[in-house]
Amino acid sequence: MNFSIIFRAISYLLIILSIAMGFSFFIGWINTSEHNNEIATKEWILSLSITLFSAFVLLFFSRSNSEKKKDRKMLRKEAIAIAGIAWIVCGIHAALPYVFCNIGISFDQCFFEAISGLTTTGSTVLDDLNKIPKTLLVWRSTTQWLGGLGIVMIFLLIQSRDGASGKMMFGAESSLPISDLNFSNFAKAQRSLWTIYICLTIICALGYRFFGMTNFQAINHALTTTATGGFSTENNSFSNFSQGAKIWAILFMLICSISLFLYLVIIKKRKTSVLKENEEARWFLVLLISAITLILINNRNIFDQSSILDTLFNVVAISTSTGYVSGDYDVWPTLSKEILLILMVIGGCSGSTAGGMKVSRILLWFRFIRSELTRTFRPQMESIPRMVNSSKSVDKNTLGQLFVIFTASFFFLILGSLLMHAIEPDISIKGCIASVVTTLCNNGPAFAEFGPTKNFSHISTISTIMLTAFMILGRLGFVYALVLFSRKLWKHY
């Protein structure tokens, strides 16, 4: 293991994080007239200074270590280590503004809030956003925007990483199979992805401003909408915004829950028909429309006509793992909430900013089951499922990772729910399961004690740390997080 490469990569990420801190402070400062809460200048200077100091210390050790040990090209093991360690190190430093701004939460809750931002989960421990410094509100939104494509993706962009290691790091961030990253110039594709991401954010912000939001609200919600993160500047999220703003949010939540690589192909071929031909996107929309139809029918006796838009908004927000809310979906009938739970687990498309298991993995899982059932009565037939959005057969590595992801998901769901119920006996089993599902799937609000009108501030330190770890596990797709505990990763290659 070449630690100089790891130290250098993490130091660059911390420098990027410090730049993001400066951006958050600047946006909060120029919008002083729109919010009455303080700026917390000294606290931000301290947070930024510590982050930069840590970055330069790691950079110093990376150079001194490279002098003793001949530096070489980044290999797969270094790429895996960076993809996993970056979330913990960046999460600790991203928590510093919450710590120093003295907003009345403990360090474990600060770390929870920071990781919830970077993983675009959207779960929160903050009770009253009106008492939070506006610079910190921007920081919450900025961390989600950075985590939308992935903090490691920024390092890849700066370093212009190509080849197997770069693709592996991106695969860990985006949940795309490495076999799908078949671009001739992967570094150029990264730059194009960031260009699309930034353009979508700007257009989204302009739309929000047009539909009645203030500049401060428009910037923050554009950052968290395109990241499908769900952090808001308002205590009641989207409940009090105009219908136009809600429709605009629905549009961009859907756009950003479909693979951004697909938009690259559309721009390159200049054919919108590519979207219709994409199997994963097609199934995602079919599932979403079916869920909306069933919920509207099931809720017909409790909602008036004005609630139809709120229903549509909440279903899209849950299915795209954005986590915005408009009203309280926890009062819906049981069947409607069960459908929301299924959508929460499935999530969006691979290569998007959405969370969840991803539609492509669910499709591949069903195809694998079908092929194995076929082999029970036709054992001589080698039935290998084909890849989603491709005519190629699935390779053994992809099937192996799929098995690990689904096995780990169910294992941590059961283990986490049991531990939550043991640690928090006052919380219902429904609330315990919901808290684990929403953190593993990076969704945000859940049900019962963790519903859309509640938060995670009432749980113990142990539960807070456990759910924080689940957010990282879910964001890295389990494989790239669990492999960090393998001795062979650090000793052999």
From the CB of residue 127, how many other CB atoms can be counted at a distance below 10 Å? 16
Highest mean pLDDT among 100-109, 200-209, 366-375, 381-390: 200-209
Residue 296 lies in a domain: no
**pLDDT at res. 71:** 53
Determine how many CB atoms are found less than 10 A away from the CB of residue 211. Answer: 17
**pLDDT of 163 strictly over 70:** no
- Residue 36: per-residue pLDDT: 46
Domain end: 184, 205, 236, which one? 184
CB 52, CB 14: distance < 8 Å: yes
Give the least confident one: 26-40, 156-170, 306-320, 476-490: 156-170
123 located within any domain: yes
Structural domains in the chain (count) = 2
Which of 184, 218, 235 represents a domain boundary (last residue)?
Answer: 184
Q: What is the pLDDT of residues 413-422, one digit of tens each?
A: 999 999 999 9
Q: What is the pLDDT of residue 370?
A: 82
Question: Counting every residue, how long is the chain?
Answer: 493
Predicted pLDDT at 392:
61
251 pLDDT above the threshold of 60: yes
pLDDT of 96 above 70: yes
- Looking up tokens 């089951």 gives 369
* CB-facing half-sphere around the CA of 429: CA atoms within 13 A: 3
pLDDT of residue 435: 95
The tokens describing 93, both together, are: 């430093």
Model confidence pLDDT, tens digit, residues 119-147: 999 999 998 888 888 889 999 999 999 98
Query: From the CB of residue 169, how many other CB atoms can be counted at a distance below 10 Å?
Result: 27
Residue 48, token pair as written in the block: 């930024």
pLDDT at 162: 46
Asked if the structure places residue 272 within a domain, the reply is no
d(CA 143, CA 280): 28
The Cα angle at residue 347 between residues 245 and 192, in degrees rounded to 5: 70
- Using alpha carbons only, give the angle 79, 65, 50 rounded to the nearest 5 degrees: 80
Query: Residue 493 — pLDDT band, cuts 50, 70, 90?
Result: very low
More confident residue, 372 or 141: 141
pLDDT band at 383 (very low <50, low <70, confident <90, very high): low
pLDDT of residue 393: 66
- Long-range contacts made by residues 46-53, C-beta under 8 angstroms, separation at least 24? 46/96, 46/100, 47/21, 47/93, 47/96, 47/97, 47/99, 47/100, 48/18, 48/21, 48/22, 50/93, 50/96, 51/14, 51/17, 51/18, 51/21, 51/93, 51/96, 52/14, 52/15, 52/18
Give the residue from 289, 297, 308 showing the smallest Cα distance to 335.
Answer: 297
Answer yes or no: is 352 within a domain: no
* Residue 355 is assigned to a structural domain of this protein: no
Please give the residue range of the domain that contains residue 479: 394-491
Share of the chain above pLDDT 70, in %: 84
CATH number at residue 439: 1.10.287
Quote the pLDDT of residue 50: 95
Identify whether the C-beta of residue 262 lies closer than 8 Å to the C-beta of residue 331.
no
**Residue 69, pLDDT score:** 55
How sure is the predictor about 97, in pLDDT bands with cuts at 50, 70 and 90?
very high
- Mean pLDDT for 14-43 is 78
Mean pLDDT of the chain: 84
Residue 372 in domain: no
What pLDDT score was predicted for residue 152? Answer: 63
84-88, 194-198, 209-213, 297-301: which is most confident: 209-213
What is the model's pLDDT at position 436? 96
pLDDT digits (tens, 9 = 90+) for 436-470: 999 999 998 999 899 998 999 999 999 999 999 99
Residue 324 lies inside a defined structural domain of this protein: no
| pLDDT, mean of residues 60-75 | 66
| Confidence class for position 238, pLDDT limits 50, 70, 90 | very high
> Which letter does DSSP use for residue 293 in this model?
H
Give pTM, 2 decimals: 0.89
pLDDT at 295: 93
* pLDDT tens string 390-414: 556 666 777 778 888 899 999 999 9
**Domain end position, chosen among 146, 167, 184:** 184
Whether 35 has a pLDDT exceeding 60, the answer reads no
Answer yes or no: is 275 within a domain: no
- Of the listed ranges 77-86, 107-116, 284-293, 371-380, the least confidently predicted one is 371-380
pLDDT tens for residues 346-366? 999 988 888 889 998 898 888
